[in-house]
Every structure is written in structure tokens, then in C-alpha cells.
Chains A and B, each alone.
Chain A
Amino acid sequence: MTYARDVAALARKDLLLELRARETLPAMLLFVLATLVAFRFALPADASARASVGLLWVAILFTALLGITRAFIPEREQRVLDGLVLAPVDRSAIWLGKVVATLAFLGAAEVVALPAFGLFFEQVTWSTVAAVALADVGICAVGAILAAMAAAGRARELLFPVLFLPLSLPILVGGVGAAISDEPGRYLAFLALYDGVFAILAWASFEYVVTE
């Protein structure tokens, strides 16, 4: 399956780049921790458990924003994208490779964030973990293609959050719902639906974003 190997090669490239540069992942880790601490101070002492769960999700979203912005947008990536587009690979493989790599970064950040949340606020339930896993897929799938769109124009770092946040609102609903509801199944199913629908759309349309 050459497609799978292309994706693997591209994902490996991104992971290797991060290993060398060591910029994105440390920033994400520090950011998510600092955000959680900030939220701890921002919440009044008698705040409900529900409120704090919401903040976890906001922290995750913003950390993802930080990470994905770094993925496509730095100058170097923009200029080199031509090289990938010229190659005889499926353009959707470029997207998928980026998604895989971003998932790895986001996952790594959450490995730190979730226990920290458990420490600062309250216990993390299995439904929260499941929701985070599902939400990650949607975040990275949508984020990757939006980042490519933003990177094509001016003011990319400013534009990407503006593009990303409206589309991430349903994820917020699904995630918070799964974490605090008595029937997390519906919310998890919704997240899976979101993932499926938008991943397919992004996969099919990425070609048109990077070519003219």
C-alpha cells in the first residue's frame, strides 16, 4: 500500500522535524499546564465540578491551536509545501501525514494535561479520556486543512484561530457533554460522527486547497 507508506514517510518527516527543532511540543506542554493553573486561579473557590471540566476542554482546544499553528504556518513549511505538491503522491496523503503527526503532539500534551487536571481540579473519568481521544481526531483533521488554507494567505497566525474556533464549537459540546453527562454514549457517538464527516470532507478536499 504505497499510500500508507507515503503517509508514514510524511508523518515521520514531521516528527523528525519536531525532534530537531524542539519548539512545538515543549511550548504546548508548558502552555497547557500554565493554562490549567490560570484557570484554577480564575475559578472561584466554590465553583462546580462541571465548570472546571469545561475549562479542561478550553485548555485542550487552545493548546491544539498552538500546536497546529506551528504545523503548517511557519515560513519554512510554506515554501517547502511546493516540493510535496510536485511529487507524485496523493495530496490527501500530505494531509493525513500532517494529521498523524499532529495527533502525536496533541496526545503527548494531553498525557501531561489530563493527570495535571486530575491533580488541580478533580478526577478524570474514563468517558473524559474517551472523549478527548475522539475529539483529538476531529481537532487534528479539521485543523490540518484549515491551517493549510490560512497558510496560503497573509496574516496566517492571526487567521488560523479565527477559522478554527467556530468549527471546534461542536467538539466542545461533545467533549464537555461526555465528561459530565450521565449518558456519555450519546456525546461520544456525536464526536465520532463529527470526526467521520469532517475527516472525509477534509480528506477529499485537501487536494483543492494546495493546488490551483
Chain B
Amino acid sequence: MIRARGLERRYGAKRVLRGVDLEVERGGFTLVTGRNGSGKTTLLRLIAGLAAPTAGELEVDVERGQLGFLGHEPLVYRELTAIENLRLYARLYRVPEPRERIGMLLERFALWDARNQRAGSYSRGMLQRLALCRALLHEPELLLLDEPYSGLDSEGAELLDRELAERVGRATFLVATHDPQRLAPLASGALAL
């Protein structure tokens, strides 16, 4: 599903990614590990299509509508409520039966009670959970998650564990993390940067 050879990404003189090779099969769960600054985020952004490689080949067999992305930013509008944000994304991703889907996800991530509050008033953990709702909203085939547990408290982390466990095998995962232990049981492969 993802094939990369000699991937390189530089910002000016600085090379953030150097000759990265990667192969992810459909249904795989690959961890991307490395210290801060090793390029995990950049790699995910390249695969998501948010940035282009400056050298190397990259093939991602997934169309944009089947791609779910969780980055460092939650990518939600602070002035809009959770529901309004998800409604917008549901519209853009052409999610069928958006009301049910949004309601279900908000409940699964324990945000239902806060659904009509502005995202700007959310705590860090709530924002991360909302971002996860956004990423999973259209039930994508490929999920690119950049440090998905960051900002989550133990409850939130458990909710995420559950969601991931449910989708393993059905969806393809590429997860960047600096704590691989947690996800090791789910993982089918790993890449160290």
C-alpha cells in the first residue's frame, strides 16, 4: 500500500529525512520510532501528501478520501463547536449518514456531553480526542497517526486503545511514536529513523 525508496526531504540545507525505505502492506500496522527531530513527523506528512519529497520515490496506493491523518495540530477550528467541526469534515469527506457517524464517534471518545462547546474551550486531552474523531470520521483505509497518545490521560488512552484494537487488520496503520511498548502487541512491523 505504501512503497518508498530513498526518500529524502530537506529544508534548505538541512536534510530531515535521509534515504528512507519503507514498505507497508495492506492491513499492516507499522510503528515509526526515533528520537525527536528524527523526521517521524516529516515522513508522515510526506505520505499524507502534505509535503513533497525532495528526492526519492514514494508510492501511496490510497486516494485522499481514504486517508486519515493525525498530526501535531488537531486541525479543528477553535471558534466552532465539536459538532460543527465534524459536520464540516463529514461534508468534505462525503461521509454517509453523517449525523449518526458523528454522534457515535463523539460518544466513543467521551465527547458527547461537550459536543456543543467551542473547540477552543477544550482541554489538551479533549482536543486530541476530537482530532481522533476527525481522523476516523470517514473510516479511512489508511491511518497516519503522529504520536496519537500525546495529551491523553489514562482514560483517553484506553479509549484510543480500544479504537485501534478494533481496526487492526481492517485498516492499515502507520504510527509514529516515541513509546513503542504500548503499541508493540498490535504492530506487524517497525521502522526506526
Contact = CB atoms under 8 A, between A and B. Distances in A.
Classify A-B as touching or not with yes or no (CB < 8 A).
yes
A186 interface: no
A86 B76 contact: no
A82 B77 CA distance: 12
B129 interface: no
Contact of B88 (A9, A76, A88): A9
Nearest to B144: A86
A79 B73 CA distance: 7
B48 interface: yes
Contacts of B91: 5-6, 9
Contact of A86 (B49, B78, B88): B49
Interface in A103-137: none
Contact of A9 (B50, B77, B92): B92
B118 A20 contact: yes
B76 A88 contact: no
The secondary-structure label for the interface of chain B is loop
Contacts of A88: 63-65, 92-94
Contact of B75 (A13, A21, A79): A79
A89 interface: yes
B51 A83 contact: no
Given A9-B88, A86-B64, A86-B67, A212 B50 contact: yes
Contact of A17 (B69, B71, B77): B77
Which of under 10, 10 to 19, 20 to 34, or 35 or more describes the interface residues of A? 20 to 34
Contacts of A17: 77, 79-80
Interface string B111-137: 000000010000000000000001000
Interface in B55-84: 63-65, 67, 69, 71, 73, 75-80, 84
Contacts of B63: 88
Contacts of B92: 6, 9, 84, 87-89
Interface in A13-45: 13, 16-17, 20-21
Given A20-B118, A83-B75, A86-B69, 11 more contacts: A6-B92, A9-B91, A9-B92, A17-B77, A82-B50, A82-B71, A86-B48, A86-B50, A86-B64, A88-B63, A212-B50
28 contacts: A2-B94, A5-B91, A6-B91, A9-B88, A9-B92, A13-B77, A13-B80, A16-B79, A16-B80, A20-B118, A76-B79, A80-B73, A82-B50, A82-B69, A82-B71, A83-B75, A83-B134, A84-B92, A86-B50, A86-B67, A86-B69, A87-B93, A88-B63, A88-B64, A88-B65, A88-B92, A212-B50, A212-B51
